[in-house]
Amino acid sequence: MQYLIWYNTRKAHRSLNKQPPLKYFLNNFILPQKSNMLWTLTKSTSPKQKREMIVDYRIIEWLRDEREKHYIGKEKLKPLLDEYCLTLGIKSPSESLIGKIIKRKSIFPKINGRIYHNPASKYAQKKLNYKTRVKSSPKPNNFGY
């Protein structure tokens, strides 16, 4: 109904060479929709279907198990994964793809206990010297040069 009212008034104003008043537009169309302001958002321009990395689920499970047992990197996992893929009869992923899988599926073991803090490290020794900082600008005693 509001659609019909709005477009009929627009046609009437066009025929009279006048624009509809802003107050009318605000009161009848914008303010009643304050509860539903989703119409003000712009539509997303990102593609609806994005490319995804297709990897066999058995490879992901194997990587997850191996990384939990032994925290080793992609270079050392590659030959072990090649043997596993040969037994299954599937194509083995490359070393860089193994790194991508680890990163995207977040296959990182949880480290229990405290992390070692090295007090001799450069980061731990880096301290600001607050004594050299000027707290306020110097004020002149006498006026003039």
Tell me how far apart the alpha carbons of residues 110 and 124 are, in angstroms, rounded to a whole number: 25
42-56 pLDDT, tens per residue?
A: 777 888 888 888 999
The Cα-based distances of 83 to 80, 88, 91 in angstroms read 5, 9, 11
Looking at per-residue confidence, does 134 or 2 come out higher? 134
Residue 28 burial (C-beta neighbours within 10 Å; 0-12, 13-18, 19+): middle
Q: What pTM did the predictor assign?
A: 0.48
92-115 pLDDT, tens per residue?
A: 999 999 999 999 999 988 777 777
Q: What is the pLDDT of residue 46?
A: 86
